[in-house]
């Protein structure tokens, strides 16, 4: 792609400063939105654009906004910047390198939804991200883009940056709201959904950073421009975070529908010479594996589901033929063990036992019935937890058991990891 | 209780006046200076917030970045997520443990370093990624463990 719309930080040096941002067209979309559009026209534009939530669920953004009840209560916009899904690192780049784009998107979105208060929930580990956001928010206040009666429009918006403190579960929107209210980050029962009873019990929209960053270009170029890219059901642009065994790991802005093979080869530089793809996790650690014969799958929500996985957060981890699938699976499941909030027994105990069994398999101390134990524990988690974290822990495991059962069996038969029980490959570096 | 904490609590409550939203910002601010949250500090925060000690403790214990044990002058997190592991984070952790003569989760006897695992730090493009006092430093190859220990970071 020659021109970036979301990752403009790659094209413009110093765009994290408001003067540079404005010199490159920044905040023009906000002014345009105020001048040309009524709030409901902006909501209609977002609906028409087909923009879907980029945090993982892919829910249509305009429809989400439309769920806000018209009951006169003051509304909140909460931006989810608690990015922690293994393999996903786009929101970190967006907030660290181009914070004003997000702030402009927040102002436009708040105007569209008539929210009078907005919060950015920033992952606790993002120290620089939070510092960048706080500085940029202050700059926006100083320029009169935030606060009371913005640019004489009569629209007022307060924007605050709130830091998390290390908890993946707070990326789940209701847990995030709990955390923002100064509580433990346990997910809430839904319904009621945040649109009806969210932050402080008020009507609330929770959107991902990347989703909101789409707003400035969307207002500038229009819904027709947005739908001219991507597919009919998955229009527009998506940032894919590519990591693992590729030559050029990084964030890449692609039109939805771009084939997975193109992302790996054309954008991320392909694999190391002589290596072949063993499996790809296309949308963050929670989604099932795609196999080498599925590399021509278009990266859009529907096509990936059809191929048996999900686009999720766009965190694409590429595994080559030198990666042990048992070791890789053990590492991913351990993440969910660490991050389970502990509320539900199947998730809390299940992720613990799956990690334990996977570790002993990887160390060559597994037994033949361990695969049955894993399948049984997985079955006792699936669909039996309060929030999606339990199910998320199963995506890679279940598909690895299906596609790579021979590797699990080899660990048992040989009483060792045939690949040396290490994930590091010195040749790679 | 440090004399300035009262002012910090008022500022946090002014910025986040509803529910207990001022609690975590206050905990962050105090820990940044103190390094960790002692039992006494938890008590003080509870008093400042008008909350019970049990409530503050329940929040502090939920989040991995709130330290309830003393930490070293420098807190090192090594990301052990899959993408970092594929790039050598286990070997980096091993080298740091050897060099510091501690295990992951521990603090050196001289109180200089605390070594911790981090779950995916959302920086897989620069694997293996680490943080020093939550400042990103990476990629750090396993053989660069020594360099990491003396790396300059913003205060």
Q: Which helix (H) or strand (E) holds A253?
A: strand A250-255
| Pair A29, A173 in one domain | yes
Q: What pLDDT is recorded for position B62?
A: 97
pTM: 0.97
Going by pLDDT thresholds of 50, 70 and 90, the confidence category of residue A398 is very high
- Does residue A234 lie within any of the structural domains? no
Q: Say if residues A190 and A78 touch (Cβ distance below 8 Å).
A: no
| Pair B55, B79 in one domain | no
Q: At what angle do helices B53-60 and B23-34 cross, to 10 degrees?
A: 70
| Pair A142, A289 in one domain | no
| Pair A246, A189 in one domain | no
For chain A, report the end-to-end CA distance as a whole number of angstroms.
27
Domain region containing B131: 74-147
| Pair A18, A92 in one domain | yes
Average pLDDT over residues A21-27: 98
Q: What pLDDT is recorded for position A429?
A: 46
Q: What pLDDT is recorded for position A427?
A: 62
- Does residue B93 lie within any of the structural domains? yes
CATH number, position B31: 1.10.10
| Pair B7, B34 in one domain | yes
How many alpha carbons fall within 13 Å on the CB side of residue B2?
14
Alpha helices in A76-126 (DSSP H): 90-97, 99-113
CATH number, position A309: 3.10.20.600
CATH number, position A163: 3.40.50.11540
pLDDT tens digits along A200-210: 999 999 999 99
- Does residue B66 lie within any of the structural domains? no
| Pair A301, A169 in one domain | no
| Pair B55, B81 in one domain | no
| Pair A178, A136 in one domain | yes
pLDDT tens digits along B29-61: 999 999 999 999 999 999 999 999 999 999 999
Task: Give Cβ neighbours of residue A156 (< 8 Å, ≥ 6 apart).
Answer: A116, A147, A148, A149, A150
Percent over 70 (pLDDT), chain A: 99
- Does residue A27 lie within any of the structural domains? yes
Q: Which of A171, A182, A271 should be substituted to probe chain B, the one whose Cβ sees the most B Cβ atoms within 10 Å?
A: A182
| Pair A135, A198 in one domain | yes
Percent over 90 (pLDDT), chain A: 97
Q: At what angle do helices B53-60 and B39-49 cross, to 10 degrees?
A: 120
- Does residue B153 lie within any of the structural domains? no
| Pair B98, B124 in one domain | yes
Q: What are the tokens at B15?
A: 């910025």
pLDDT tens digits along B134-148: 999 999 999 999 999
Average pLDDT over residues A222-226: 98
Q: What is the number of CB-based contacts under 8 A between chain A and chain B?
A: 157
Domain region containing A75: 8-227
Going by pLDDT thresholds of 50, 70 and 90, the confidence category of residue A425 is confident
- In the stretch 227-246 of chain A, residues with CB closer than 8 A to chain B read 241-245
Q: Which of A267, A297, A320 is the last residue in one of the domains? A: A320
| Pair A412, A351 in one domain | yes
The residue with tokens 């695992």 is: B117
Average pLDDT over residues A306-312: 97
Q: What pLDDT is recorded for position B9?
A: 98
Q: Say if residues A16 and A99 touch (Cβ distance below 8 Å).
A: yes
- Mean pLDDT, chain A, integer: 97
Q: How many domains does chain A have?
A: 3
| Pair B80, B49 in one domain | no
Q: Which of A278, A293, A320 is the last residue in one of the domains? A: A320
| Pair A187, A221 in one domain | yes
| Pair B86, B140 in one domain | yes
Cβ contact (<8 Å) for B21 and A424? no
- In the stretch 278-307 of chain A, residues with CB closer than 8 A to chain B read 285
- Does residue A235 lie within any of the structural domains? no
| Pair B81, B137 in one domain | yes
Q: What pLDDT is recorded for position A421?
A: 85
Q: Which of B86, B130, B142 should be substituted to probe chain A, the one whose Cβ sees the most A Cβ atoms within 10 Å?
A: B86
- What are the chain B neighbours of A184 within 8 Å (beta carbons)? 58-59, 62
Q: What are the tokens at A311?
A: 């686009």
Cβ contact (<8 Å) for A165 and B64? yes
User: CA of A305: how far to CAs of A47, A57, A142, A282, A310, in Å?
Assistant: 22, 12, 46, 11, 5
CATH number, position A387: 1.20.1440.230
| Pair A296, A341 in one domain | no
Q: What are the tokens at A97?
A: 């390198």
pLDDT tens digits along A247-285: 999 999 999 999 999 999 999 999 999 999 999 999 999
Enter the DSSP assignment of A265: I
Taking the CA of residue B67 and the nearest CA in chain A, the distance in Å comes to: 10
User: CA of A274: how far to CAs of A242, A250, A317, A321, B83, in Å?
Assistant: 20, 22, 19, 10, 20
Chain B interface includes A414 (CB < 8 A): no
The closest CB to that of B82, out of A91, A285, A341, belongs to A285
Q: Which of A289, A320, A351 is the last residue in one of the domains? A: A320
Q: What pLDDT is recorded for position A243?
A: 98
Q: Are strands B130-132 and B74-79 parallel, antiparallel or unpaired?
A: antiparallel
Using a CB cutoff of 8 Å and minimum separation of 24, what contacts does B43-49 make? B44/B1, B44/B5, B47/B1, B48/B1, B48/B5, B48/B6, B48/B9, B49/B9, B49/B20, B49/B22, B49/B23
| Pair A87, A122 in one domain | yes
In this structure, the number of other CB atoms found within 10 A of the CB of residue B17 comes to 9
- Does residue A35 lie within any of the structural domains? yes
| Pair B47, B107 in one domain | no
- Does residue A412 lie within any of the structural domains? yes
Q: How many domains does chain B have?
A: 2
Chain B interface includes A429 (CB < 8 A): yes
- Does residue A334 lie within any of the structural domains? yes
Average pLDDT over residues A348-376: 97
CATH number, position B91: 3.40.30.10
- Does residue A304 lie within any of the structural domains? yes
- Does residue B139 lie within any of the structural domains? yes
> Helix and strand tally (H, E) in chain A?
19, 8
| Pair A248, A108 in one domain | no
Average pLDDT over residues A88-106: 98
- Does residue B52 lie within any of the structural domains? yes
For chain B, report the end-to-end CA distance as a whole number of angstroms.
23
The percent helix, strand, coil of chain B (3-state, each to 5) is 45, 10, 40
């Amino acid at each position: 792609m020659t021109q970036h719309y979301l990752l403009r930080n790659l094209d413009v040096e110093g765009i994290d400063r408001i003067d540079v941002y404005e010199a490159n067209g920044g905040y023009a979309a906000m002014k345009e939105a105020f001048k040309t559009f009524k709030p409901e026209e902006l909501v209609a534009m977002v609906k028409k654009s087909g923009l879907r939530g980029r945090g993982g669920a892919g829910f249509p953004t305009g429809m989400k906004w439309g769920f806000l009840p018209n009951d006169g209560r003051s509304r909140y916009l909460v931006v989810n910047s608690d990015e922690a899904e293994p393999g996903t690192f786009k929101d970190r780049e967006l907030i660290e390198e181009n914070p004003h784009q997000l702030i402009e998107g927040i102002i436009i979105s708040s105007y569209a939804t008539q929210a009078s208060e907005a919060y950015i929930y920033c992952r606790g580990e993002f120290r620089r991200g939070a510092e960048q956001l706080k500085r940029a928010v202050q700059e926006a206040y100083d320029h009169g883009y935030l606060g009371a009666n913005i640019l004489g429009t009569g629209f007022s918006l307060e924007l605050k940056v709130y830091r998390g403190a290390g908890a993946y579960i707070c990326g789940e929107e209701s847990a995030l709201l709990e955390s923002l209210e100064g509580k433990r980050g346990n997910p809430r029962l839904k319904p009621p959904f945040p649109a009806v009873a969210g932050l402080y019990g008020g009507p609330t929209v929770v959107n991902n950073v990347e989703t909101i960053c789409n707003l400035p270009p969307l207002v500038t170029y229009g819904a027709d421009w947005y739908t001219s890219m991507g597919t009919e059901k998955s229009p527009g642009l998506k940032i894919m975070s590519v990591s693992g065994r590729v030559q050029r790991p990084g964030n890449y802005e692609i039109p939805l529908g771009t084939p997975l093979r193109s992302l790996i080869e054309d954008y991320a530089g392909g694999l190391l010479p002589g290596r072949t793809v063993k499996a790809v996790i296309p949308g963050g650690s929670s989604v099932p594996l795609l196999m080498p014969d599925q590399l021509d799958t278009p990266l859009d929500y529907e096509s990936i589901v059809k191929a048996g996985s999900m686009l999720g957060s766009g965190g694409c981890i590429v595994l080559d033929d030198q990666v042990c699938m048992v070791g890789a699976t053990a590492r991913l499941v351990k993440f969910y063990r660490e991050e389970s909030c502990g509320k539900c027994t199947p998730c809390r105990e299940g992720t613990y036992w799956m990690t334990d069994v996977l570790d002993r398999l990887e160390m060559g101390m597994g037994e033949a019935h361990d695969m049955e134990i894993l399948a049984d524990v997985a079955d006792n988690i699936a669909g039996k937890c309060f929030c999606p974290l339990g199910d998320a822990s199963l995506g890679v495991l279940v598909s690895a058991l299906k596609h790579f059962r021979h590797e699990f069996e080899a660990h048992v038969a040989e009483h060792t990891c045939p690949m040396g029980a290490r994930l590091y490959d010195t040749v790679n570096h | 209780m440090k004399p300035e904490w009262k002012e910090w609590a008022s500022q946090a409550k002014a910025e986040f006046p509803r529910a207990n939203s001022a609690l975590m910002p206050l905990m962050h601010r105090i820990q940044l200076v103190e390094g960790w949250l002692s039992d006494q500090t938890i008590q003080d925060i509870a008093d400042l917030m008008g909350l019970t000690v049990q409530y503050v403790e329940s929040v502090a214990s939920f989040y991995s970045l709130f330290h309830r044990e003393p930490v070293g002058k420098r807190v090192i997190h090594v990301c052990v997520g899959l993408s970092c592991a594929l790039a050598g984070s286990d070997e980096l952790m091993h080298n740091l443990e050897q060099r510091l003569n501690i295990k992951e989760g521990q603090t050196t006897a001289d109180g200089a370093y605390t070594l911790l695992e981090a779950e995916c730090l959302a920086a897989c493009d620069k694997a293996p990624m680490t943080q020093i006092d939550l400042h990103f430093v990476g990629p750090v190859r396993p053989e660069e463990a020594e360099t990491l220990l003396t790396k300059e970071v913003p205060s």
